[in-house]
Chain A
């Protein structure tokens, strides 16, 4: 015995025949619920057939590809727009940085240099030197000077030690001592002579000896960073 659902399905598929078909059609005529059920079956089956025979999957693939291409294109446009905005800003920033780098402010003209960390001769001395670097850059000038004193005693000809040793007084704003120490280095022929001359000049200005400072600064050639700093300080003093 077929269920009502089986009869409906057979009827839609054209498989009911003879007396079975007649009986079903009579039932349909008298049973609105069955008729309604049949219509719903037909509608759903029609939807299924329509949807399953479509090329929607191919369309989805194309839509997906088009969307991806569009988003990429939009992303590029955004990047270009951003680029157009950022380039002038970055350019301006670069100009500013370069200007600041080369010009320096009045206060930076008097700033001490960073004591460079490097190994100088034997391992034992290198360890001490590194301690001096740490103290100097932390502005613990007396501690840095103690170590540099030891290093100078062990290597009296090392001008690098003497240069930073002199700058420890400069850092403490002990202008008199720094001038005394720096003069010797500035008059020499070591690689620290120009730097020592510059800080000597700076120390003179702190002692209000601008004329001496100006004379020294005029001897520093302005073809490098130190020269440009010297030139700047010179203009301030003049």
Chain B
């Protein structure tokens, strides 16, 4: 087990003291990197927070083993996220020296990259869910988090049959958006 595995545990268990340690040890480095690459300090802290949430998702339901330092891992996740932001802004210029900073001499890089991509895919799905109508979002959310769909239908003031119909329509709409998204067409840097 890598000595930095503890940092993943801090996130997985939402350990405030541990989270403070993460910020104390790595925030300055991450924020400096973002600022150095045309971002602001606020951008830096936003990216860091979202990267830590991503890492939480990576570790949440599986035994994710860190095989490189947490610093390298965190930098890689932050870099990907910031590159995506820059790409959206069409400001794709990252300094060479910073590229070097993220080079990981480790066989685990591929495995880490796959985990990062999976989390990004999940983020994308959640973002697309937010683009659906409020009614659809509510139906999907409640159907995913509550067991008894009859009760959901009753509380929404609709019949169970209508709820089933609406749920499948809403899911179909979401699936349609997912299929149309560039990420599903080979562009992982969406």
How many positions in chain A have a CB within 8 Å of any CB in the partner chain? 35
Secondary structure class of chain B's binding surface, majority of residues = helix
* Chain B residue at minimum C-beta to C-beta distance from A5: B172
- What is the number of contacts between chain A and chain B, taking CB atoms within 8 Å? 95
Q: Are B61 and A74 in contact, CB atoms less than 8 angstroms apart?
A: no
Residues of A within 8 A of B24 (CB): 70
Q: Are B171 and A66 in contact, CB atoms less than 8 angstroms apart?
A: no
A55 beta carbon closer than 8 Å to chain B: yes
* Chain B residue at minimum C-beta to C-beta distance from A55: B14
* Chain A residue at minimum C-beta to C-beta distance from B169: A5
Please indicate which of the listed interface residues B19, B22, B125, B168 has the most CB atoms of chain A within 10 Å of its own CB: B168
Residues from 163 to 203 in A contacting B, C-beta threshold 8 Å: none
* Distance, CA A121 to CA B141, complexed state (A): 86
Residues from 145 to 186 in B contacting A, C-beta threshold 8 Å: 145, 164-165, 167-169, 171-172, 174-175, 178-179
Q: Are B145 and A66 in contact, CB atoms less than 8 angstroms apart?
A: no
Residues of B within 8 A of A236 (CB): none
A26 beta carbon closer than 8 Å to chain B: no
Residues of A within 8 A of B27 (CB): 67, 70, 74
Q: Which of A40-48, A103-111, A135-143 contacts B (4 or more CB under 8 A)?
A: A40-48
B49: contacting residue among A8, A51, A54, A64, CB under 8 A: A64
Residues of B within 8 A of A41 (CB): 171, 175
Given contacts A49-B144, A62-B16, contact A67 B174 (CB under 8 A): no
* Chain B residue at minimum C-beta to C-beta distance from A54: B60
A70 to chain B, nearest CB (A): 4
Give A20-59 as 1s and 0s: 1 = Cβ < 8 Å from B's Cβ atoms: 0000000000000000010011001101111111111011
A63 beta carbon closer than 8 Å to chain B: yes
Q: Are A66 and B122 in contact, CB atoms less than 8 angstroms apart?
A: no
* Chain A residue at minimum C-beta to C-beta distance from B21: A66
B38 to chain A, nearest CB (A): 20
Q: Which of B50-58, B77-85, B102-110 contacts A (4 or more CB under 8 A)?
A: B50-58
Q: Are A6 and B122 in contact, CB atoms less than 8 angstroms apart?
A: no
* Distance, CA A37 to CA B56, complexed state (A): 29
Q: Are B23 and A48 in contact, CB atoms less than 8 angstroms apart?
A: no
Residues of B within 8 A of A219 (CB): none
- Spell out A's residues near B (CB within 8 Å): 3, 5-6, 8-10, 15, 37, 40-41, 44-45, 47-56, 58-60, 62-67, 69-71, 74
- Spell out B's residues near A (CB within 8 Å): 11, 14, 16, 19-20, 22-24, 27-28, 45, 48-49, 52-53, 56-57, 60-61, 121-122, 125-126, 129, 140-141, 144-145, 164-165, 167-169, 171-172, 174-175, 178-179
Apart from A48-B129, A67-B23, A74-B27, what 16 extra A-B contacts exist at CB < 8 Å? A5-B171, A40-B179, A41-B171, A44-B175, A45-B144, A47-B121, A47-B125, A48-B125, A48-B126, A48-B144, A56-B53, A59-B14, A60-B53, A62-B19, A66-B23, A69-B20
